[in-house]
């Protein structure tokens, strides 16, 4: 790690603990700007700014990007406050109609932080029993929520997005936690088949909401990070969420159950790296979390994971080349599940199977013989993107994808 990365992690550690950063090494204006860019890249700007704004070194900097960041933070916090209020009002409607909706991530994670609305989340994820979807759809529409998806897509999708006009509220209504059609991670749903029977209640701003129980929730957070890691990365914010959740609820978590299931999905070394990063650089407390010996005894080199996390940003979305590289890593995982070595990733990226394109090109469901047309449309679209979007080159995608496949091997996700 370089100097900027080290300082950034120290500031985030303080922020997550609700502390002001009192000292930092002497930094140039350019170095401070790099820190602010990194905070924004990981969607941690409000937490970061709250921890450093009183530093004398920053006050004397007189840099435009600091004033711009302050304005962004104020806007983000305000919007988050509005989203929280709107969501809790909607959730009351669901409860009044006897809908047992399990809240995933979002508001339940923000509640872990000293100032919840300083931990941004652009949407709220809600899991419902799939047979309840028509009723939920009606309630959301009555609340003013709208979706752009047509009836066929809504019926067949594992999640449906909803927005409210004139409001920042954005909901993803889940019938499953993971897309069942995904060959890479659709099978993760099996661990949460009894989630509704095991669900617990949590109080948020005086409102009772359903959420996953402590053990399920921690394992889900690991699985969610794992899913994004298989794509293009997941970022420091998710590490903060996981280790902070473990700190608060660790004594209620069945760590051996989490260990066994992480081992089952080849995510044991992946998860161990997250906790080691949390212990070395963030706020993970082995005693407070009741972190079990099985976990502590895992020997893992977390530095490669950390480098990937920092460079990738939130959900690995730091640039388009990296995002497009996910075709290569996902193909490698699918090949591994089938007991094969990674197939020709270039060909698979350009010409994926019909099943992988059906959601985007609906005509394939009834007319599979049009698969070559879908391939052509996809290649043309990608070619246009590479011309008009910065940091989006096919050669870079292949290079990043190949490097990240080796990272999957390093953490024993694939052979």
Domain boundaries, the chain: 3-62, 82-212, 319-410
124 beta partners: 171
Q: How confident is the model at residue 378 (pLDDT cuts 50, 70, 90)?
A: low
**Residue 151 CA: distances (Å) to CA of 155, 157, 190, 349:** 6, 10, 27, 29
Percent of the chain with pLDDT over 70: 91
Selection from 110, 287, 95, 286 nearest residue 199 by Cα: 95
Structure tokens at 321: 């080349």
Mean pLDDT, rounded, for 203-224: 95
Confidence at residue 396, expressed as pLDDT on a 0 to 100 scale: 78
Read off the pTM: 0.88
Question: Which residue reads 């509704």 in tokens?
Answer: 196
Q: C-alpha angle with apex 402: 401 to 406, nearest 5 degrees?
A: 110
Helix (H, G, I), strand (E, B) or coil at 60: coil
Confidence at residue 348, expressed as pLDDT on a 0 to 100 scale: 58
Mean pLDDT, rounded, for 276-283: 97
User: Are the C-beta atoms of residues 330 and 414 closer than 8 Å to each other?
Assistant: no
What distance in Å separates the CA atoms of residue 383 and residue 397, rounded to the nearest whole number? 13
Confidence at residue 320, expressed as pLDDT on a 0 to 100 scale: 80
Residue ranges of alpha helices (H) inside 132-233 are 133-142, 151-156, 195-198, 214-231
- Looking at 61-70, 78-87, 386-395, which range is the least confident one? 386-395
Confidence at residue 389, expressed as pLDDT on a 0 to 100 scale: 44
Task: Give, as one character, the DSSP assignment of residue 174.
Answer: E
Mean pLDDT, rounded, for 194-209: 93
Question: Which residue reads 């969610």 in tokens?
Answer: 224
Q: Give 357-376 pLDDT, tens digit per residue.
A: 776 777 777 778 777 777 67
Q: Give 1-43 pLDDT, tens digit per residue.
A: 899 999 999 999 999 999 999 999 999 999 999 999 999 999 9
Q: How confident is the model at residue 388 (pLDDT cuts 50, 70, 90)?
A: very low
Q: How confident is the model at residue 82 (pLDDT cuts 50, 70, 90)?
A: very high
pLDDT at 57 over 80: yes
**CB within 8 A of 40, min separation 6: which ones?**
69, 72
303-306 LR contacts (CB < 8 Å, sep 24+): 303/1, 304/407, 304/410, 305/270, 305/273, 305/274, 305/277, 305/407, 305/411, 306/1, 306/273, 306/277, 306/281
Q: Give 86-128 pLDDT, tens digit per residue.
A: 999 999 999 999 999 999 999 999 999 999 999 988 899 999 9
Mean of per-residue pLDDT scores for the chain: 90
Task: Name the CATH topology of 82-212.
Answer: Beta Polymerase; domain 2 (3.30.460)
Q: Give 131-160 pLDDT, tens digit per residue.
A: 999 999 999 999 999 998 888 889 889 999
Q: How confident is the model at residue 384 (pLDDT cuts 50, 70, 90)?
A: low
Q: Give 317-336 pLDDT, tens digit per residue.
A: 777 888 878 888 888 898 88
């Amino acid at each position: 790690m370089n100097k900027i990365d080290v300082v950034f992690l120290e500031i985030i550690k303080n922020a997550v603990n609700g502390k002001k950063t009192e000292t930092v090494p002497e930094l140039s204006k350019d170095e401070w700007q790099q820190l602010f860019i990194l905070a924004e890249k990981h969607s941690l700007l409000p937490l970061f700014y709250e921890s450093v704004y009183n530093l004398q070194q920053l006050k004397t900097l007189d840099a435009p990007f600091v004033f711009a960041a302050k304005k962004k933070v104020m806007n983000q916090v305000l919007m988050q406050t509005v989203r929280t209020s709107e969501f809790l009002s909607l959730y009351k409607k669901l409860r009044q109609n006897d809908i047992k909706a399990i809240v995933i991530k979002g508001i339940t994670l923000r509640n872990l932080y000293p100032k919840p609305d300083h931990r941004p989340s652009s949407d709220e994820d809600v899991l419902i029993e799939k047979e309840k979807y028509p009723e939920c759809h009606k309630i959301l529409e009555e609340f003013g929520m709208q979706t752009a998806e047509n009836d066929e897509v809504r019926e067949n999708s594992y999640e449906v997005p909803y927005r409210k006009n004139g409001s920042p509220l954005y909901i993803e209504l889940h019938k499953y936690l993971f897309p069942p059609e995904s060959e890479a991670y659709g099978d993760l749903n099996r661990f949460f088949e009894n989630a509704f029977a095991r669900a617990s209640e949590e109080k948020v701003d005086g409102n009772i909401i359903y959420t996953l129980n402590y053990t399920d929730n921690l394992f889900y957070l690991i699985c969610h990070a794992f899913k994004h890691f298989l794509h293009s990365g997941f970022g420091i914010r998710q590490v903060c969420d996981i280790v902070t959740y473990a700190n608060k609820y660790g004594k209620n978590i069945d760590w051996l159950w989490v260990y066994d299931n992480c081992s089952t999905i080849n995510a044991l070394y992946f998860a161990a790296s997250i906790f080691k990063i949390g212990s070395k650089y963030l706020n993970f407390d082995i005693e407070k979390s009741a972190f079990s010996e099985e976990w502590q005894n895992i020997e893992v080199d977390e530095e490669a994971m950390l480098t990937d996390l920092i460079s990738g940003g939130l959900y690995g979305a730091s640039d388009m080349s990296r995002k497009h590289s996910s075709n290569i890593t996902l193909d490698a995982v699918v090949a591994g599940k089938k007991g094969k070595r990674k197939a020709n990733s270039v060909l698979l990226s350009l010409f994926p199977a019909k099943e992988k394109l059906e959601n985007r090109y609906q005509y394939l469901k009834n007319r599979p013989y049009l698969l070559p047309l879908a391939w052509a449309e996809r290649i043309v679209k990608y070619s246009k993107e590479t011309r008009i979007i910065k940091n989006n080159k096919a050669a870079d995608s292949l290079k990043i994808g190949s490097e990240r496949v080796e990272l999957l091997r390093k953490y024993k996700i694939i052979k």
